[in-house]
Structure formats: structure tokens, C-alpha cells
Amino acid sequence: MMMIESHISPMIVAADESDASDDDPGPSSISLLIEHDGWMRLGSVEAMIRRAHDATVAQVPHITGRGVAILLASDDAIAKLNAHYRGQDKPTNVLSFPAAELGASAPPGEAPPLGDIAIAYETVMREAEQEGKPPLFHLAHLTVHGLLHLAGLDHEADADAERMETMEREILATIGIPDPYFIPLDEPPAVTG
């Protein structure tokens, strides 16, 4: 992890190229680091992240073959990263660190790394409960969201946000995850703050 490794410890290497055989390295190298034990209690986080990643690569082919490091951390760890890199001293659900912004390079003939993603356990669990969705579905959504940021998309302008949300919906649908932005008409939106 280029950007976030020096700010988080200890880390457990949980997966690298999971579900990929030596003959089929998959569309990209994923390094998964689990810093918070709560993630392991959710079950198949590695498989869900791989599915979300592969579905995103299928829709955004220019990120194929580019390394991604994903940190599953605590709110405290994410708050430190958020303060250091964004000047906001609070946790957030997902942070993305594009490698291109660091001038990352690769040996000749290899694709440069895509970047790092960090996801906060307590925030994900709280949001999943408030929104009435399975935590693994929310993790998949945030993985897709982070990957789209690494691919160069953002949601600063309304049109960009609409485009990004549409892509998230389409990507998640390919792996059987319902629209993460859908709010039933008979339920008011969750209030956060």
C-alpha cells in the first residue's frame, strides 16, 4: 500500500490474488490488508471484494491488470488517514488514493498500480444497519465506489455524481446486489450526523 501503509499498524495480510490460479492471475492484483478484527466476523469479505473488483474491471476495462491495495480498517485508522490526507479529523466510510497522483510507475511493459482504498469497519456497519442492507453488500458497494474513484471518476458535480451512481448500480447488479441508493417509499431516509 503506497499511501496508507505508513499510517496504519499492525496489519494482517489476508489475501493476495484470492480465487485466482497460477494460470489465471485474474484481471488485477488485489492486496487485501485487514487491520480490524471485526471484518473477519463478517465472513467472506475476501470473496466479496474480489467479486466487486472483477465486476468493476469488466465495466471499466482501462483498470485491468493494475494493482490495487485495499485496507479494511477501523474508524480510528480511517480518521487518521482522513485528517492527514484530506484535513478532516473524522472517519468516513471509504477513502481512495490514486497511484497516478503520486507519480507511481511500473517496470517497462507492466501496468502501473491503480492505487489504494481504505474502508472503515464501524462506519460500514453503522451505515448498513441504518440503510437496512447486509454489511457485505455495503462493503461491495464501497469497494466499487473506491475503484471508480481510482479510475478517475468523482461526484463533485451533480452530473458526475449521477454518472458514478449509475455505474455503481449497474456494476453491483451484475453480482446480484440491489441498488444501494434505493429508498423504499414507505421508509424515510436515515438521518446521519
**Residue 138, pLDDT score:** 97
**Residue 23, pLDDT score:** 38
| pLDDT winner (highest mean) among 7-11, 13-17, 117-121, 185-189 | 117-121
Helix axes 121-131, 135-150, angle to 10 degrees: 120
**Residue 186, pLDDT score:** 61
3-class secondary-structure state, position 97 = strand
Which region among 23-27, 83-87, 158-162, 164-168 has the lowest average model confidence (pLDDT)?
23-27
**Residue 75, pLDDT score:** 97
Which class does domain 5-174 fall in? alpha beta
What residue segments make up the domains of the chain, in order of their start? 5-174
CA separation, residue 73 to residues 11, 34, 69, 105 (Å): 9, 6, 12, 26
Mean pLDDT, all residues of the chain: 83
pLDDT interval class at 189 (50, 70, 90)? low
